[in-house]
Amino acid sequence: MRKNFRNKSINDTFIKEGNCSAVVVGASLSGLMTGIALSTAGLKVTILERAGAKPRSGAVLQVESGEIDRTKTAKFLRELASGGIRSAEAWSSIQFRLRKEVEADSRIDLRYDARVQTVNQDDNSAWVVSDKGETFHGDILIGADGHRSIMRRYVSPHKPNATFAGYLIWVAIVDEKDIPEKHRPSLNAPKFTMLDGIGDFLLGSIIAGADGSTALGDRRLGWAWYDNTQNDLLRRLGCVEGDVVQHSLYAPDIPEQTLIELAEKASDRWAQPWFLKI
Ligand SMILES: Cc1cc2nc3c(=O)[nH]c(=O)nc-3n(C[C@H](O)[C@H](O)[C@H](O)COP(=O)(O)OP(=O)(O)OC[C@H]3O[C@@H](n4cnc5c(N)ncnc54)[C@H](O)[C@@H]3O)c2cc1C
């Protein structure tokens, strides 16, 4: 949300003089990156995150190293996310590096346990109010609050929710030491493997260990199984209503029969090491 408020014109001089401020809602990958980019441009930034400071875990993302980017900021952000090499990275490693950068930046105020409840603007500024009743004003307000975004509800009331993409992703990350030695990929095995299924596919990736080691036995394997065959289940369990995602599929809710069928499908479809019974 950006506006030239009646009493203020946001231009380069105004920003360079350090007069411009931004509030970013959400401190996941997009929110942290946006905060760094805005700070680099000279803005004072407040990032509000509803979750606590405890690091969160995910699986794996493919990241570019930034050679193709034109702007310095884009290059820097990509280098930061990728660790400087085109690779697959643990979601948590990317988040960790972005957080470290944000926490070291005196122009950025990152607040956890700050759930934004209302969004508003007038002729002078835009603002949000948190669940603790605190108000945060900014010249720019950015929504990086993921699916069912409160910011999107304000900016786009006629289409407040993103449309369900029609598939889910089963994600996993496993330490290589926990899989049998005979199934560990060799050191020159491709870092990414894309295996086709029937209406589904698997992206397998080999990434460095949590300590950065790429030695055999120290690495981690990541699975992202894109599956468009579970939509009835998602609707039955209330994860999707109409074409709107309500929440993720909670592990304890997955029916035993679905797990059995998945194991059977996996054994038919994926070669080792991507089919594992642990
Ligand atoms: C913990 C986690 C792990 C993931 N792991 C993977 C992975 O391994 N591979 C992959 O491809 N994708 C993964 N994803 C999917 C994810 O959608 C993308 O990878 C990426 O994180 C999207 O980033 P985002 O910042 O746009 O949205 P999100 O990651 O969805 O972040 C939105 C953020 O906004 C915060 N928020 C929401 N509402 C409010 C509010 N009202 N006030 C304040 N804060 C709010 C949320 O707590 C969250 O931190 C993961 C997502 C999460 C949250």
The dihedral built from the CA positions of residue 175, 177, 179 and 185, taken in this order, carries a sign that is: positive
Nearest CA to ligand 1 atom 37: 145
Would you say 63 and 74 are in contact if contact means Cβ atoms under 8 Å apart? Answer: no
Distance 31 CA to ligand 1 centre (A): 9
Distance 38 CA to ligand 1 centre (A): 19
Our answer on whether the CB atom of 28 is closer than 6 Å to any ligand 1 atom is: yes
Our answer on whether the CB atom of 34 is closer than 6 Å to any ligand 1 atom is: no
What is the rounded CA–CA span in Å between residue 128 and residue 26? 12
Pick the atom of ligand 1 nearest to 33's CA: 25
Q: Quote the pLDDT of residue 1.
A: 66
Yes or no: domain 12-155 corresponds to CATH 2.60.40.3500: no
Our answer on whether the CB atom of 144 is closer than 6 Å to any ligand 1 atom is: yes
Report the percentage of the chain scoring pLDDT > 70: 92
In this structure, what are the phi and psi dihedrals at residue 85, rounded to the nearest 5 degrees? -130, 150
Q: Where are the domains of the chain?
A: 12-155, 168-269
What is the rounded CA–CA span in Å between residue 73 and residue 77? 6
Q: Quote the pLDDT of residue 10.
A: 60
Q: Quote the pLDDT of residue 267.
A: 86
Would you say 138 and 126 are in contact if contact means Cβ atoms under 8 Å apart? Answer: yes
User: Tens digits of per-residue pLDDT, 226-257?
Assistant: 999 999 999 999 999 999 999 999 999 999 99
Question: H-helix or E-strand containing 46?
Answer: strand 44-48
The first and second tokens of residue 20, run together, are: 């411009």
Pocket test for ligand 1, best of 24, 28, 30, 161 (most atoms within 8 A of CB): 28
Our answer on whether the CB atom of 89 is closer than 6 Å to any ligand 1 atom is: no
Q: Quote the pLDDT of residue 193.
A: 87
Q: CB under 8 Å to 53, separation ≥6 — which residues? A: 112, 113
Would you say 245 and 148 are in contact if contact means Cβ atoms under 8 Å apart? Answer: yes
Q: Quote the pLDDT of residue 59.
A: 80
Closest CA to 173 of 29, 261, 57: 57
Pocket test for ligand 1, best of 56, 145, 202 (most atoms within 8 A of CB): 145
Q: What is the mean pLDDT of each run of 10 residues along the chain (278 residues)?
A: 57 69 96 97 96 85 78 90 82 93 98 97 93 96 93 92 93 92 91 83 90 93 92 96 93 95 88 72
- CA 67 to each of CA 29, 60, 86: distance values in angstroms, whole numbers, following the listed order: 20, 21, 9
Our answer on whether the CB atom of 59 is closer than 6 Å to any ligand 1 atom is: yes
What is the rounded CA–CA span in Å between residue 234 and residue 225? 16
